[in-house]
Amino acid sequence: MVQVSRRTGLTGSALIRLLARLADTDAPESKQSFADRLSHWLSWTDAISLSAALDGSPSTPPPGARASGSAEEGECKRVRTALVNAIATPMDTTTDFAPYRRRYLARQQAMEASIGPLRGRLRSRLAAGSPAMARLAAVDAVMEQVLGAHEQRLLATVPALLEKHFTRLRRADQATPPDEADAERQPGKWLDVFGKDMQGVLLAELDLRFQPLEGLLEALRSSQPKPP
């Protein structure tokens, strides 16, 4: 069983830093506030939807309805562990990048298929709670709708960045003189390096995709009645 990592910090920062390191470039922190950056992604209709969710007055939950985080937390742990273990599953090495691209895309699709419905179920549990929790669920639904397409567009560029890293490693390996290769290099070692790098990027992407779920789970925990 692979240990599931937990990360805190700015959204996407770990993934961005890792990709920047593999590309051998700098990734300076944005000087814009989160609100300023978000405004570039919101159309006026998106802003109206978000404002309505923030200012709305959710209906009173039905009698007996209460948000419960324990079952959902267990399901999130199960889904995340399954995805982490799938990422860690070794694959046959090859000097052609195409199989790596297919694997990365398959792992992305698996994340989308598992995380999206789970996020919706967490919102449903929140919506069954207090008016404040229902409002939070409504805001999350709008944020997913507004930012989802942008996120998918950006994450779709990751395989191309990995391909450039793959090509650099392969060229560096081919450029090593034969006399140095015997002493300092094992044949195909660069493929092992790339495989670990790609695994790290996938785990960082999984962390990024799970951040909204972790926020919803924290809201469910906070909504639980305190023990006497």
Mean pLDDT of 100-107: 97
Which segment of 55-69, 105-119, 136-150, 155-169 scores lowest on mean pLDDT? 55-69
Sign of the Cα torsion 97, 102, 108, 114 reads: negative
Per-residue pLDDT, 207: 93
What is the average pLDDT value for the chain, to the nearest integer?
A: 77
**Distant-in-sequence, close-in-space partners of 201: CB < 8 Å, separation ≥ 6:** 15, 18, 19, 22, 158, 162
Sign of the Cα torsion 181, 183, 188, 190 reads: negative
φ/ψ of 137, rounded to 5, equals -60, -40
Answer whether 124's CB lies under 8 Å from 136's CB. Answer: no
Which segment of 20-24, 139-143, 186-190 scores lowest on mean pLDDT? 186-190
Q: When comparing pLDDT for 39 and 124, which is higher?
A: 124
Which segment of 103-107, 180-184, 218-222 scores lowest on mean pLDDT? 180-184
Q: Which two tokens stand for residue 178?
A: 């034969």
Whether residue 98 is predicted with pLDDT greater than 90 in this model: the reply is yes
Query: Alpha carbon of 108 to those of 37, 90, 104, 190: distances in Å?
Result: 25, 16, 6, 24
**According to the per-residue pLDDT averaged within each range, which of 53-62, 121-130, 171-180, 194-203 is highest?**
194-203
Mean pLDDT of 143-148: 82
Residue 3: exposure state from Cβ atoms within 10 A (0-12, 13-18, ≥19):
exposed
Mean pLDDT of 95-104: 96
Which segment of 61-75, 80-94, 104-118, 165-179 scores lowest on mean pLDDT? 61-75
Per-residue pLDDT, 6: 38
Residue 75 CA to its chain's centroid (Å)? 17
Whether residue 25 is predicted with pLDDT greater than 80 in this model: the reply is no
Whether residue 28 is predicted with pLDDT greater than 60 in this model: the reply is no
Q: Which two tokens stand for residue 170?
A: 């392969």
DSSP per-residue letters across 59-78: PPPPTT-----HHHHHHHHH
Q: For residue 8, what is the enclosing H or E element?
A: none
Mean pLDDT of 175-189: 63
Q: What is the pLDDT of residues 41-96, one digit of tens each?
A: 555 354 445 455 455 554 444 444 444 457 888 999 999 999 999 999 998 889 99
Task: Determine the 3-state secondary structure of 2 from DSSP.
Answer: coil
